[in-house]
Amino acid sequence: MIKMTEVRAALVGACGKMGQMIVRRINATEGMKVSAAFDLVNVGKDIGEICGLGKLDVPVSDPKDLEKVLKESKTDVLLDFTVAPATAANAPVAAKAGVNLIIGTTGLSPEQKASITDAIVSNNVAAVISSNYSIGVGIFFKLCREAAKNLGLDYDVEIIEAHHNQKKYGREGVCPRGKEIGIHSVRGGDIVGDHTVMFIGNAERIEIRHQAHSREVFVAGAVMAAKWVVDQKKGKVYSMSDVLA
Ligand SMILES: NC(=O)c1ccc[n+]([C@@H]2O[C@H](COP(=O)([O-])OP(=O)(O)OC[C@H]3O[C@@H](n4cnc5c(N)ncnc54)[C@H](O)[C@@H]3O)[C@@H](O)[C@H]2O)c1
């Protein structure tokens, strides 16, 4: 009989909307276990009880104890779904503790991404960083690449992204039409996540659209990535396309 090694997964932002759903999903996934949970709220309470699962004997820890708790709990992979400044501070600590990473937080600046990547490479851990863990979005990206390759520079490209009204980032001004790709942000109600890429010519246009109906699609992809990343070559940052390849 082949003995499967259990993947021990911890969460930062465990009490948030994504965090709670991921905890429930990991708990229901064969070969995975919730090893630790971190958040600024509910510190000391049992994460299973917060997520409606009953006691899991995993207390919510203060993120300032991240390194110590990750080591004590023998965590293999840490999933981070919080806010950009928190991820920028916590991801390097996890990498230094030898823990692989799944980063879902959006709104990271290029500088924050670069310093997180440095920490991942220099501490020889593996990570997936993606602003969209949905499985269908991998196909959506492939279709966009194909259209861009075939249409060349004669078509203007515009992106419309729409998310719920609690989303923190993404309302910036629009530039006059040049050769740039314009990004337009809609914020309203309970939209889970819509992305439309428009290739606009003089007499026609192509629109490629992905719409997430439920956050479960991100949760499934993130947990799939967490199980996958622990077996990958270390010292590297992967994308969701690598996970789905
Ligand atoms: N990549 C994806 O596929 C994907 C999908 C959905 C959401 N997101 C992103 O995930 C993040 C979380 O989304 P959400 O809807 O769950 O938000 P949320 O506000 O419901 O949850 C965020 C949680 O993070 C906690 N938190 C904040 N600062 C912290 C810190 N310093 N240390 C530890 N915990 C901290 C908060 O207390 C809260 O519980 C956002 O950046 C969102 O854009 C990514």
Which residue, judged by its Cα, is nearest atom 9 of ligand 1?
105
Say whether 128 sits in a helix, a strand or coil: strand
What is the CA(221)–ligand 1 centre distance, in A? 16
Report how far residue 214's alpha carbon sits from residue 225's, in angstroms, rounded to the nearest whole number: 18
Nearest to 134 by CA among 205, 194, 83: 194
**Annotated catalytic residue within 149, 167, 168, 184:** 167
Dihedral sign of CA atoms 51, 80, 70, 67 in order:
negative
Atom index in ligand 1 nearest the CA of residue 18 equals: 16
Q: What is the pLDDT of residues 27-55, one digit of tens each?
A: 999 999 999 999 999 999 999 999 999 99
Q: What is the pLDDT of residues 179-201, one digit of tens each?
A: 788 888 999 999 999 999 999 99
Residue 167 annotated as catalytic: yes
The ligand 1 site (C-beta within 6 Å) comprises 12-13, 15-19, 38-41, 63, 81-83, 86, 104-106, 130-133, 218
**Local confidence band at 174 (pLDDT 50, 70, 90 cut-offs):** low
Q: What is the pLDDT of residues 46-94, one digit of tens each?
A: 999 999 999 999 999 999 999 999 999 999 999 999 999 999 999 999 9
Residue 195 annotated as catalytic: no
Please, which contacts does 86-91 make with residues 24 or more away whose CB atoms are closer than 8 Å? 86/12, 86/13, 87/12, 87/112, 87/116, 88/112, 88/115, 88/116, 89/63, 90/12, 90/38, 90/63, 90/66, 91/116, 91/119, 91/120, 91/127
Q: Which residue carries 């779904």 as its tokens?
A: 81
- Beta-bridged to residue 237, according to DSSP, are 127
Task: Give yes or no for residue 4 having a pLDDT over 90.
Answer: no
Task: Tell if the pTM clears 0.85, that is, is over it.
Answer: yes
Enter the tokens of residue 196.
Answer: 């439309």
**Is the Cβ–Cβ distance between 226 and 79 less than 8 Å?**
yes
**CA-CA-CA-CA torsion for 70, 74, 79, 83, nearest 10 degrees?**
0
